[in-house]
Structure 1
Amino acid sequence: MNKFRKIEDSQIEITQLMLPSHANFSGKIHGGHLLSMMDQVAFASASKHSGRYCVTASVDRVEFLTPIEVGELVSLKAQVNFVGRTSMVVGIRVESENIQTGEKKHCNSSYFTMVAKDENGKSCPVPGLIIEKADDVRRFLRSANRIASMKNRKTTFKAAQGINFMAEEYLKELEAFNVQLDL
């Protein structure tokens, strides 16, 4: 296994024509179909980087920015932005193109955390990342920050073993939200 790999080695782009069978009840492309495509391209990118079978550990920040129409081409561009010991963060950009007008729209950006697996299904080490551009430094550090925030979210407001969450300590914070308390 190479100790380090270039980001460009993990880059994947797929393009697919959106069909009526991909549409939801309002005639736009179903978000679930798009998520499935994103998972596939994340798998391909992470597997290409690691040389291993990879599984999805988490999906962070999926925002559907603009709807995709039946008949448009959808392109998904993915690359590994960050690597840990056994995991990789794959950044994905989704664009649609109207075939008749050539108009392109940025529809979605998302980040999938993928974990490399060995032949026994156990997590295994992945190569490090060779960073060659300033933009890649930005992507790497944003991913590192996102991971740290995710770890913080897991512990914030978590009841420790044997200790109950004390809601009374946080009731004042709820005044800023659209809630009615009936405790």
Structure 2
Amino acid sequence: MSGSQRQLTLRFLAEPADQNFGGKVHGGAVMKWIDLAAYGCAAGWCGKYCITAYAGGIRFVQPIHVGNLVEVSAKVIFTGRTSMHIGIDVRAGDPKHPERHLTTHCIVIMVAVDDAGRPSKVPEWVPETEEDKHLHQSAIRLMEMRKKIGAEMAAHVLDGNSSKVSPH
């Protein structure tokens, strides 16, 4: 039933194939795991296929080591008409011990789509706890900041026909 599965956690071991040249887990591998968790969470919430519209504010706090048990937790923190803001925390640690430390955090925006690929309505999420209200308000503030950043970034987008900066 859509609107009832608000969060999920993926758990697995970081493998040698995930390693970068420095011997730690590659940031790209972590970003893939984040996208997988965001999709699973969003699809579970709305009961539809979802696409990634935005991933931002990715903070790599600590490295993940090969062999660590990795937990990628995803939670709906805001819903729009067709979009869902998913808060992601990545934690990792030695599988022989119960402690997991925060390694990465970010927000991913997923959009539900119908069979024709058009945006599709999602169930509304209403925060109830104080923590959820805080996360909801944070998502709203982040939307405002993204609008400002988007306007600034538009000046850096190159026009496909020239090397000049696009005026819009």
Q: TM-score, normalised by structure 1?
A: 0.80
DSSP 3-state at the match of 2:21: coil
Which position in structure 1 is the counterpart of 2:118?
122
How many Å apart are 1:100 and its aligned residue? 3.3
Q: Does residue 1:58 correspond to 2:48, yes or no? A: no
1-side partners of 2:72 and 2:91: how far apart?
7
Identity %: 31
Q: Provide Cα deviations, 1:94-139, integer angstroms capped at 9, x if missing partner.
A: 0002123444211011100100001110001111013220100000
Q: Which structure is larger by alpha-carbon Rg, 1 or 2?
A: 1
Which position in structure 1 is the counterpart of 2:25?
29
Q: Does residue 1:144 correspond to 2:140, yes or no? A: yes
1-side partners of 2:62 and 2:99: how far apart?
13
Which position in structure 1 is the counterpart of 2:13?
17
Alignment gaps of 5+ in structure 1:
166-183
**RMSD of the TM alignment (CA)?**
1.8
How many Å apart are 1:64 and its aligned residue? 0.6
Match of 2:84 among 81, 88, 93: 88
Match of 1:134 among 115, 130, 133: 130
**Number of matched pairs:** 157
How many Å apart are 1:14 and its aligned residue? 0.8
1-side partners of 2:45 and 2:138: how far apart?
19
Q: TM-score, normalised by structure 2?
A: 0.87
Q: Does residue 1:104 correspond to 2:100, yes or no? A: yes
Q: Provide Cα deviations, 1:69-114, integer angstroms capped at 9, x if missing partner.
A: 1111000110110011111100011000212344421101110010
DSSP 3-state at the match of 2:31: helix
